[in-house]
Structure formats: structure tokens, C-alpha cells
Amino acid sequence: MEIQTTPSTAVANGEPHIAPLDPYKLIVNLSKNLKALPITDDAHFGEIKTDHMLVINYEPTTGWSAPEIKPYGPLSLDPACSCFHYCPNVFEGMKAYIGPNGEPRLFWPHKNMERLARSAERVALPPFDTDALLVLVKRLITVEARWIPSKPGHSLYVRPTIIGTRPMLGVAASDSAMIYVILSPVGRYFNGDAKGIPILAVGHSVRSWPGGTGGHKLGLNYAPGLLPQRIAEKQGYSQILWLFGEDSRITEASGMNFFVVVQSDDGDLDIITPPLDGMILPGLTRASCLELLDAHTQGKTVLPNIPASTRLHTHERVLTMHELVAWSAEGKLLEAFCVGTAVVVAPVGRIGFEGKDVVLPTEDAGLGLVGKALWERVVDIQSGRVPWEDWSVTCE
């Protein structure tokens, strides 16, 4: 099937028409050789790709090209492109699920598009219509619907990406760009650490800093963490818990938001996560967890296996490793878990800090009471089994 409309290049008042991102100009070129669907869960996260991808280009004199869904394959880029030299590279992480009636669904996709646009603006990439891009993402997912796994805990990972393609070496904002979207069927991110991720608290190098780019989803935020993670792995830890400042305040766990559950003196539970101070990515799973925890305490819902009488108090505040050490010694530190699109909710088993381990009580049992309840409820909402506001939408 092919749908094609030639993009307008009309000239008005001597100026070329700058074409907006227009889903009605979509070209669909389907592969004649479809791949076999994977039959095992052995692949690493993101290793398998589907048959097709979405590609759109922007040029300063003409605007956005006709979007194209075409067979997955290599991109052709000039070696001088900005993305290779100055890192104006932005991406999002989304997931598609099969709903109760077999329909493809997305979780909070408008929020992903809004964050993608904010990140693109932060590195001066050309603007785009977020609603138009979402229409195209949904269309790609419907084309690839057979790739969406139906197994519990599995999904189709969606990676929208924007890169600067200005083919010049001068240091300047890229006035040319490419948007592309690729898909990958995935299972659980941490297959080997289901009973608790071992993480190493690191303060001698930082992932982000005040006034930096930690609050945006940029490729440049991730590369500096690869060497510290490799060092951590040699010491028996699989992830990094990034600390900042002389007080060893916690920011993120690798690229995930971090939560702890603390037993309060009155019998309630305090759930604490670092604040969105510009150094931390405003994760959509983070926001979902906070809202669901508050809804439980407010009586709007009852989270799985948590009594309605149990009050869950959320706190977005500065959180230090020294507090975690003290709570652990007092027997008050009940859980620590990481949240994000890839992992949903993942338990932390132990945290290495200043030569010792803070061991979580859930190390041998996986997610604790709160983490397990959040994982179950978020996954049920994502797949449309439990309706909750407008979080889960169909790819119509």
C-alpha cells in the first residue's frame, strides 16, 4: 500500500513555504519480506526490531518532508552532521500494549510528545507539531500490531528520536533535523535481577547538575554514565545510584527515578522520591506512581494487596544516602525501587555506599508491598484492563 502526497514548496511574498509536520502526507511503503516473530525471551532489551520504521526530515527552506513508513534499515547521513559532533540528539521511551479486545494501546502518549518537544527545544532543534507526530506514531504501531507481545509483562517498546542533521562543522544550532521512530518487542528489563537490583551509590562523578540538562531526555545525558557503570559492574553492582553534593543527596538510579518506602512512627508508610529540581528527568511512570499512591490514601482507589486503611504519604523532597543508612539501621527502611518506562517498577536489593551495603528487606522476595502494588496497577492501566482517567489510549 502506498499513500503519497507531494509536500508543498509554494513561494509566498518571495519566501519559500515552510511545510509543517503533516500526517495527511504520509507515505506507506510496506516490506515485501516480513520477519518471523521471536519465539523466545532470550533477546536483550531492544535487540529485536520490527519490520518498519517512520522517518521524517526537516530542511530550513522547505520544512518537514512527507512522513514515510518504510522497511526498517540503515539511515543515510552526512559525516559532518551535527548529531555526530555536537550531540543534538533527543529521544523518548514509550510502550504499546494489546488491550482487552486486541486493540493496540499507548500509555500517556501526549505526555511523551510534550516532553520530546521540550527536550528538542533545549538543544535548539526545529519545532514540530506534537499531535501530528502522535498520529504518525499510532499509525506505525497499527502497521506493526502483530509485533505487540500478549505475554504479561511484555510490550512493544517505541523509540521516537530526533537528531540534528545540519551537514556543517561550525558550532551552531542544527537547522536541519530528522525524526525517526523504531519499535522493538521487549520483556522485563532486568531479567536476572528480579529479586532486587544491586546498585552502587556514586558521588565522585555526576550524571547531572543544577542548570544542566538532567531534566531532559537527551542522548548526551547517558554516555558519561557508561564508564562508572562498567566500574560498578566489576564490583558486583548492575546500576549506578547518582549522588550530588557534599550531603550525598540522591538524584536518579542510572536513567530511572528512585523511590524508598519508610515505616513512620504512627504506623503509616512514607514514600519518598527526590524532587524535580532540574537535575532529574520528570518521568511519566514516576508521576503515575505518585498519583496512584495519593489516590489510595484519598480513597479514590485501593491498590492491590494494600489495605484501604493503610495510609501512604508521598514526599517529593531532598533524600540523602545518610538518611537511608540511618533508616536501615533502625529497621525503618522497608523498600527501595526504581521506576521508568523500560522497567515499570523494579526492586532494589542492596545499595553500595562508602564501602558497605545497605541491604533491603525485600532482597530475597523481589518487590515489596508498595512496589508490587504499583507494578500491578500501572501494568493493568497500561494494557487497558483497569480504566484510569485518560492514561491509556487506543491507536485509532
Write the CATH number for 294: 3.20.10.10
Residue 116 lies in a domain: yes
> What's the CATH number where 85 sits?
3.30.470.10
* Rounded-to-integer distance, Cα 318 and Cα 241, Å: 14
Helix (H, G, I), strand (E, B) or coil at 232: helix
pLDDT digits (tens, 9 = 90+) for 319-377: 999 999 999 999 999 999 999 999 999 999 999 999 999 999 875 568 999 999 999 99
CA nearest 375: which of 364, 366, 363? 366
Which residue do the cell numbers 538532567 mark?
Answer: 214
Judging by DSSP bridges, how do beta strands 68-71 and 52-59 pair with one another?
Answer: antiparallel
Domain encompassing residue 15: 11-186
DSSP 8-state class, residue 256: B
CA nearest 285: which of 381, 147, 148, 182? 381
- The pLDDT value recorded for residue 15 is 65
Last residue of a domain, one of 158, 186, 214: 186
Same domain, 226 and 277: yes
Helix (H, G, I), strand (E, B) or coil at 151: coil
Predicted confidence band at 189 (pLDDT cuts at 50, 70, 90)?
confident
CA nearest 21: which of 7, 33, 31, 37? 7
Q: Worst-scoring range by mean pLDDT, 32-46, 238-252, 376-390?
A: 32-46
Residue 192 lies in a domain: no
Same domain, 32 and 140: yes
Same domain, 332 and 209: yes
Same domain, 168 and 227: no
* Rounded-to-integer distance, Cα 301 and Cα 273, Å: 21
Which residue do the cell numbers 517529593 mark?
Answer: 316
pLDDT digits (tens, 9 = 90+) for 200-253: 999 988 889 999 999 999 999 999 999 999 999 999 999 999 999 999 999 999
Number of domains in the chain: 2
Which grid coordinates are listed for 258?
A: 528512585
- Whether this prediction's pTM lies above 0.85 is answered by yes
Percentage above 90 pLDDT, the chain: 84
Q: What is the CA radius of gyration of the chain?
A: 22
- The pLDDT value recorded for residue 363 is 58
Residue positions counted in the chain? 396
> Which residues partner with 253 through β-bridges?
241, 256
- The pLDDT value recorded for residue 153 is 81
- The pLDDT value recorded for residue 27 is 98
